[in-house]
Structure 1
Amino acid sequence: MSAVLATVNRVLIGTAGLLLFLLGGSVLAVGLGLRPPSWWIHHGRHDVLLDHAERTRWRDAGWWWPTVLAVLAVLVLLALWWLTALLRRHRLAEVPVDTGDGEGALLRGRALEGVLAREAGEADGVAAAHVRLTGRRTAPEARVALRLEPHVDPGTVLHDLTERALRHARDSAGLAALPAEVRLRSAKYRAERVS
């Protein structure tokens, strides 16, 4: 989902930037005295964006103002959705740790991810491990991606992961639970010719 959001974000920012650049550049060019083409919305330096006739053309139509307000409301809601999607963190920055003294401490999410990935990667038959913490600070969740050697049993690797790496991470951070989503892939090997 984050890749789709990043792509939508780039397309929207690029399109908005291009439109604003073209519109602003054309208004600046007309304002500096360049003669615009006949089809352009501004005809000279002292021309306004909407003249009196354009502003009052649809005043008597009963559908005009509700339509304008509905379109503006949809645009505001889309802008707010986009802003909250950008501001929301997709990766957990820190996890509170109960130190027993009543104050507690904060454990960096990337440090916990690194330790968890290193311990998961040390298991027999694991070629590579990648861990990402998501969720809330008080209820983190782990997303684990393991690339397995062809000879390994996936059930054994999952058992080792839950009983060793995830349990150690949960106990060291003082968490009641650390749910995990695990994705397993097989390591690809190129066949070598033996003569």
Structure 2
Amino acid sequence: MNTLRNAVNRTLLALAGAALLAGGGWLALTPDGVAGRLPGWWPAPDPEAGTVLLDRDGLVGLRVHGWWIPAVVAGAACMLLLCLAWLLAQFRGGGRRLPLAGPSLTLRSRALADAVARRAEATEGVERAQVHLRAGKKRSRARVRVLLEPGTEPGPVLARLTSGPLDEARASLAPHPLTTHLRLGVRSTRERRAR
């Protein structure tokens, strides 16, 4: 799983859990319930009617205001869209399953991209590498960005990358072709001074 998405998921779950725990603890530890701790503008529950925080009369009173219904609808729509976006993000990061040469063997495109990036970073003269792999049914495309170490000649590094990690990726996907777009870069002097 993507480390950024994993961190966001854990943070959101921790915040939701902390909010629920704090709210539950507050409700459980207050001896007279929450009626005495509500803000002044909140309608207080009727002691004879029970402990309902917002009864039918209070809801009718809120509906009189012109902002109430649009605010509730907009808030619910925003929450729904955020939850749907979060749900869709969970399925997006793993990548497609790529068929391999053997019978019933598959490989996730994200796993192959990570492996190619690690192999590229292990190549002499490479400081950092990023690989994005778009898998198709008949043809796959890899976009490789490589940051060279300062003072490294790009020609030999290009030859090592082509005959090393990129050829291994092509062999992994055979008989399906892999088109590769390789971009080499060098960190600028200004970036080196900043670190």
**1:63 Cα shift?**
4.1
Partner residue, 1:15: 15
2:183 counterpart of 1:179 = no
Q: Aligned partners of 1:112, 1:11: CA distance in 2, in Å?
A: 26
Q: Aligned partners of 1:62, 1:121: CA distance in 2, in Å?
A: 60
Give the RMSD, CA atoms, in angstroms: 4.0
Question: TM-score when scaled to structure 2?
Answer: 0.62
Q: Aligned partners of 2:117, 2:12: CA distance in 1, in Å?
A: 36
Q: Aligned partners of 1:24, 1:14: CA distance in 2, in Å?
A: 15
2:32 counterpart of 1:35 = yes
**1:142 touches 1:180 (CA, 8 Å); kept in 2?**
yes
Partner residue, 2:193: none
> Identity of paired residues, percent?
29
Cα 1:54/1:140, change in 2 over 3 Å: farther
Greater helix share, structure number: 2
2:171 counterpart of 1:167 = no
Q: Which runs of 5+ in 1 are unaligned?
A: 187-195
2:157 counterpart of 1:135 = no
Please, which moves more after superposition, 126-135 or 75-84?
126-135
Q: Which runs of 5+ in 2 are unaligned?
A: 188-195
Partner residue, 1:156: 156
TM alignment of 1:97-108, pairs within 5 A: 97-98=100-101, 105-107=105-107
Partner residue, 2:59: 55
The residue identity in structure 1 corresponding to 2:173 is A
CA offset digits 1:137-166 (Å, max 9, x no partner) = 646554657575555312431243235431
**1:98 touches 1:173 (CA, 8 Å); kept in 2?**
yes
The residue identity in structure 1 corresponding to 2:160 is D
**1:114 touches 1:131 (CA, 8 Å); kept in 2?**
no
CA offset digits 1:11-56 (Å, max 9, x no partner) = 43332222111112223335xxx23473237878x41131233221
The residue identity in structure 2 corresponding to 1:80 is L
Partner residue, 1:193: none
**1:73 Cα shift?**
0.9
Partner residue, 1:191: none
Q: Aligned partners of 1:36, 1:183: CA distance in 2, in Å?
A: 65
Q: Aligned partners of 2:153, 2:95: CA distance in 1, in Å?
A: 31
Please, which moves more after superposition, 34-43 or 11-20?
34-43
**1:115 Cα shift?**
6.8
Question: TM-score when scaled to structure 1?
Answer: 0.62
Cα 1:9/1:112, change in 2 over 3 Å: closer
